[in-house]
Amino acid sequence: MKKRILSMLMVSLLLVVFGTAMAEDADKAAADAVAAMIDAIYVQEWTAETDAQIEAARAGWDALTDAQKALVEGEDADPDYFLRDTGDAALDDPLNQDGIGEKELLVVSFGTSFNDSRAADISAIEKALAAAFPEWSVRRAFTAQIIINHVQARDGEKIDNVQQALERAKVNGVKNLVIQPTHLMHGAEYDELIETLEAYRDSFETVEVAEPLLGKVGADASVINADKEAVAKAVTAAAVADAGFESLEAAAKHTAFVFMGHGTSHTAKVSYSQMQSQMAKLGYENVFIGTVEGEPEETACENVIEAVKAAGYTSVVLRPLMVVAGDHANNDMAGEDEDSWRSMFTASGACDTIDCQIAGLGRIPEVQALYVAHTAAVIEK
């Protein structure tokens, strides 16, 4: 009798173990299926299938249990793709309306999936331009399809890419088109914008493209201009104020300000060196320019750390030299991973305190005014 009871217990236990394993396999299969769908929309080239893929990925995610969502992992996919809270997307206007009229001002940005920054930085520039040129219809386009897809999948907000925005303008009968890039410089994203635009130039009576934020690139690190000076003054003043100092001179006793740009292998990378030259010309000895990509070489984090250390500063304030305070600012600069700038400065022992300011250039009124001036230069010529 005892043997029979023991056998029955063993069978029951095996059934439970087998059932659990089956359930775990099913959970993993469901999570993997959604991970594959997220990976599929992690693209920078829009296709006729993209919108349907985005809709399927969102529906697949919503159908998962909380336990299954935690298992989502792919080449690019992870639970944060849908779960990370970056603010209220409803506070942002994608500016993709029809009924444009004959005069359109298309504001082209790289973009960001961080909702708070999109509203505070990109939208702030768009609103400043709309206020300055009320007779022009302001519309938006992003150059980063990966961001467009993310925002559409997670938040249901549809932002035009450049081709879609130009097609919208064409269909709406726009005659006079002005494009204001919010890009920092004449880099790869700017080049791609111009390339896309070429196929549409004949669709409008007039087409003008305004300067990006830092203006003309120039031949070498010594070449600076009024645009770079204005940006240098604006971002430094904002950082000093946000750090609680009355002036840069008051901070200079012990605090260094490090402005982190993206960096690029494009020839326009000299713009970062020029910004460092501009800081020096202004007498901002405690201001350093760095880049995530470490191009130019002197802007790599380890080189900036050595420069700060050699200058003897005991505190550092990190702030993005980017239009938006998005993924790079939150992760590469201020993140908790060991390769973030905050972590690398901490590990170096170079400074006693490291503070991070999560604020893009777009929210600074003086920067908005510079974009307005660039737009005015092509509208009024």
Catalytic residues: 262
Cα separation of 58 and 291, whole Å? 34
Cα separation of 155 and 82, whole Å? 9
CB contact at 8 A, 269 and 293: no
Question: What are 284's two structure tokens?
Answer: 């901002």
**Mutual orientation of helices 2-41 and 145-155 as an angle, nearest 10°?**
130
CB contact at 8 A, 304 and 280: no
SS3 42: coil
Could you tell me which of 297, 298, 317 has the C-alpha nearest to residue 307?
298
SS3 142: strand
Could you tell me which of 98, 138, 148 has the C-alpha nearest to residue 118?
148
Cα separation of 333 and 343, whole Å? 9
* Secondary structure percentages of the chain, helix, strand, coil, to 5: 55, 10, 35
Say how far residue 257 (Cα) sits from the centre of its chain: 21
Cα–Cα distances in angstroms (integers) from residue 356 to residues 250, 294, 369, in the given order: 19, 19, 25
CB contact at 8 A, 54 and 153: yes
Question: What are 55's two structure tokens?
Answer: 């809709």
Beta bridge partner(s), residue 363: none
- Residues in CB range of 134: below 8 A, 6 or more apart: none
